[in-house]
Structure 1
Amino acid sequence: MPKAYIVGVGMTQFLKPRGLVDYPEMGLEAATKALLDAGISYDKVEYAYTGYVYGDSTAGQRVLYQLGMTQIPVINVNNNCSTGSTALYQARLLVEKGVVDCAMALGFERMERGSLGSKFTDRTNPLDHVMGVMAENRGFEPMAPGAAQIFGNAGQEYIEKFGATPTHLAKIAEKNHRHSALNPYSQFRDIYTLDQVLNSPKVFGPLTKLQCCPTSDGAGCAIIASEKFVKENGLLDQAVEVVAQEMATDSPKMLSSSAIEWAGADMTRRAAEQIYKKSGITANDVQVIELHDCFSANELVTYDALGLTPPGKAHELIDSGNNTYGGKYVINPSGGLISKGHPLGATGLAQCAELVWQLRNWAGERQVPNAKYALQHNIGLGGAVVITLYKKANDAKASPRTDYNPAVEARPITDADLQKASAKANQRSEVLAARL
């Protein structure tokens, strides 16, 4: 089977959604950083998938034209909160199938303040089915955010069935906030005590405010390349192999009476099982995981679904300390969505960037020791999940290709950076630069 490799990653800082930075600027920064990391210019990119949830059509072209109007295909992707990983999945598939040697996956989001809501109220909501099932089985609270109710109910069911407690959910959030203090890209870098997490304002069920991810502005990008491209461009020492990647959508269990299933647990189980089957790698072989913790309850139920714990034993993993530094796994070293932030289209690619940096041994104070295999989980209600397993392509330690280590310092791009990354065959003219 031909292989696909991540050879460059880049992201912006995740920010509170205040409209201070627009999506063309965010997307350009992430794409430029990824190209610089790979040591290539935009000319080398043969295909691009761009992901965002909130925005008009062809916003991806609007971003990438700033690097050159090279006439490559640009496909815009929207798959709810798994949008960024869906773009990565599509780009990886093209490279692995030999269609192109170099593709880009870019995700960005400019969001509004406050909880997520429907943007189109004159047509069927894609989540109407699960919302109806939830209302029938556990009721619906008009004043609480819908997503918080889905995931909060999942956490509550886990508590009722398996003996977990609200404190276990709070411990997940405390861990992720603590991890984010070492991540320069995180929207929040404050450390909170367990009591502070538990006593923060109630949102729904067992969930408090500090257990819920914020809306965010930001962007992330990855460059995916073939083995031939890696060798021809001298990228083996920094390349990270995509060992296996699976996407799944919901099974009929999503419409059952189980709140855990409303949160997409079964599609995560299926994708994880396929990953382990195809790769021959099990959950026990993984050291570092970026997991979609939009709410602490989702991290809890996903431990089971990913096979990190036997069914019903996720809270025991928390109590053992095996989900943080010094334990079996380090889960969400970036701070996760809860503290790093969650710009929907960018999240999956930010997870990818963190794991690439970890496998390159670039992550500084948040480095996971002896990281050999990394697992990524990115889910969107409605629904889709993408799970990706990575490993370093070469045992040699990668040296940063730029003049600084982007894993530990979040610098803005400069005009010189943009010139290096822009397409040389279609260099930005003054007229083009002025218009874009």
Structure 2
Amino acid sequence: MTQVRVAGVGMVPFAKPSAGKHYEELAPAAIEAALADAGLDLADVRQVFASYVYGDSTCGQAALYRLGMPGVPLVNVSNNCSSGSSALWLARQAIVSREVDVALAFGFEEMRPGALVDHWTDRLSPVASFMARHDELYGVAPAGTPGAAQVFGAAGRAHQERFGTSAEAFALISVKARRHAAANPYAVFREEITLDEVLASPQIYGPLTRLQCCPPTSGAAAVVLVSEEYAKRHGTAAKVRIAGQMLATDTETTFTGDARQLVGYDIAVRAAEGAYAQAGIGPEDVPVVELHDCFTANELIAYEALGLTPEGTAEKFIVDGQNTHGGRVVTNPSGGLLSKGHPLGATGLAQCAELTWQLRGQAGDRQVEGAKVALQHNVGLGSACVVTVYESVN
């Protein structure tokens, strides 16, 4: 199989929607950074995949045309919160199939303040069945409770009910996220917080308080992928390869299990198993992970879904500090979605950028010492989950 290398990555600092940054400014800046990092020009790119959730149907073209009009195929990708890594998956497939040697994936989001809401209220919501399953399990939530917080909060509640997980275990994830983000100039929230502050913040749903929910964010990120043959032929310093990648979607178990399955536990298990198998490694070989911590509950259950710790042991994993520097595996050294921010279409590509920097030894004060393998987990409700394994190469 054709090896796929990460030739260049780029992103812009994420910001609150109030900063007023527009997608047609954000995306070109990230693309330019990724192309410069790869030592390539836009004219070298043969296919483009643009990811976003909140925008009209050809926003990808509108953003790219600020830099030029290369006339190559451009596909706009919307897969909810996993849109960015879905675009990356498509770009990798284009190279693996030998259709092209150079592909660009970029993602962006210009978000509005406040919790996510349905923008199309005159038709069936794609997450209607998920909300119905939540109501079946736990009843209708109080009016005004954000829908995403309901399902992810319910997943945390299910973990508590099955394994006796404490509220403190969830809150400690936010403390860790802020501590990591303090070293990341791209992150929105870089001030450290205490366990007491997290627990005292307003209750949202289940074990979740406000400081355990990711903020609405605007931002952009981009990745240039090349084939190994292209990198060698052109002398491109692409020292990170995608060793394994799998995209998984729902099966019946999403709606027959508990609330953990409802937010993607089973599809994360399948995607991780597939990516590990392709890469020829296991979770024990991974020292650094960027995973989808839209809420602390999702990070906690993802530890177990990805095999980083056995099912039912996530609380001990957290309390023992096994999820940070000096522990078993550093999770979200960037600060994750909780602190770096979550511009939906950019998130998966920003995760790729962080892990590429980690494997190159370019992550500065947040560097995971000696990292040669990295894991990425990105999930979108509705659902799609992409798990990717990266390796550094000579």
Query: What is the TM-score when the length of structure 1 is the normalising length?
Result: 0.89
Which residue identity lines up with residue 107 of structure 2 in the other structure? G
- Which residue of structure 2 lines up, in the alignment, with residue 210 of structure 1? 211
* Runs (4+) off by over 4 Å: none
Are 1:310 and 2:310 matched, yes or no?
Answer: yes
Q: Indicate the residue corresponding to 1:78 in structure 2.
A: 78
Query: Which residue of the partner structure matches residue 220 of structure 1?
Result: 221
TM-score, normalized by length of structure 2? 0.98
Contact 1:137 1:257 in 2 (8 A): no
Alignment partner, residue 124 of structure 2: 124
**1:2-43, Cα deviation, whole Å (9 max, x unpaired):** 110111000011100126111111000000000000011101
Distance in 1, matches of 2:140 and 2:280, equals 43
Structure number with greater Rg is 1
Q: Which runs of 5+ in 1 are unaligned?
A: 395-436
For the 8 Å contact 1:188–1:340, the answer to whether it is kept is: yes
Aligned residue pairs, count: 393
CA 1:132/1:372 → structure 2, altered by over 3 Å: closer, same or farther? same
Computed over aligned residues only, the root mean square deviation of the Cα atoms, in angstroms, reads 0.9
Match of 2:379 in 1: 379
Partner of 2:55: 55
1:364 alignment partner in structure 2: 364
How far the C-alpha of 1:137 sits from its partner, in A, is 1.6
Checking the alignment, whether the CA contact within 8 Å between 2:202 and 2:209 is kept in structure 1 is yes
Q: Give 1:36-51 correspondences, 5 Å limit.
A: 36-51=36-51
Residue 148 (structure 2) aligns with:
147
Q: Aligned partners of 2:180, 2:251: CA distance in 1, in Å?
A: 33
Query: 2: CA distance between counterparts of 1:172 and 1:18?
Result: 26
Matching residue's letter, 2:293: D
The whole-number CA distance in structure 2 between the counterparts of 1:233 and 1:167 is 52
Q: CA-to-partner distance for each residue in 1:132-167, whole Å, 9 max, x for gaps?
A: 111122012221101001011111111111121010
Question: How far apart in 1 are the matches of 2:19 and 2:194?
Answer: 31
The corresponding residue for 1:178 is: 179
Q: Residue 79 of structure 1 contacts residue 384 of structure 1 at CA under 8 Å; is this kept in 2?
A: yes
Alignment-mate amino acid for residue 206 of structure 1: P
- Answer yes or no: is the 8 Å Cα contact 2:244–2:277 preserved in 1: no
Amino acid at match of 2:349: L
8 Å CA contact 2:248–2:270 kept in 1: the answer is: yes
Matches within 5 A, 1:27-426: 27-141=27-141, 142-236=143-237, 238-394=238-394
Rounded Cα–Cα distance in structure 2 between residues aligned with 1:260 and 1:383: 13
**1:33-90: CA deviation from partner (whole Å, max 9, x where unpaired):** 0000001110100000000000011111111112221210110000000000000000
Q: Structure 2: how far apart are the matches of 1:205 and 1:137?
A: 13
Please say if residues 283 and 306 of structure 1, whose CA atoms lie closer than 8 Å, have aligned partners that are also in contact.
yes
Amino acid aligned to 2:340: K
Distance in 2 of aligned mates of 1:227 and 1:136: 50
Whole-angstrom distance in 1 between the partners of 2:199 and 2:234: 51
CA distance in structure 2 between the aligned counterparts of 1:278 and 1:72, rounded to whole angstroms: 30
Structure 1 distance, partners of 2:267, 2:164, is 24
- CA distance in 2 between partners of 1:19 and 1:83 (Å): 23
CA separation in 2, counterparts of 1:68 and 1:118?
Answer: 33
3-state SS in 2 of match to 1:104: strand
* Identity rate, percent: 50
Query: Letter of the aligned partner of 1:359 in structure 2?
Result: L
Task: Find the residue that maps to 2:71 and give its secondary structure.
Answer: coil
- Check conservation: 1:14, 1:216, Cα contact below 8 A: yes
The alpha carbon displacement at 1:387 in A equals: 0.4
Cα displacement (A) at 1:257: 4.8
Q: Distance in 1 between matches of 2:23 and 2:134?
A: 35
Q: Using the TM superposition, give the Cα deviation of residue 203 of structure 1 relative to its aligned residue in structure 2, in angstroms.
A: 1.1
Give 1:370 shift: 0.7
- CA separation in 1, counterparts of 2:112 and 2:374? 32
- How big is the shift at 1:339? 0.5
Equivalent AA in structure 2 for residue 195 of structure 1: D
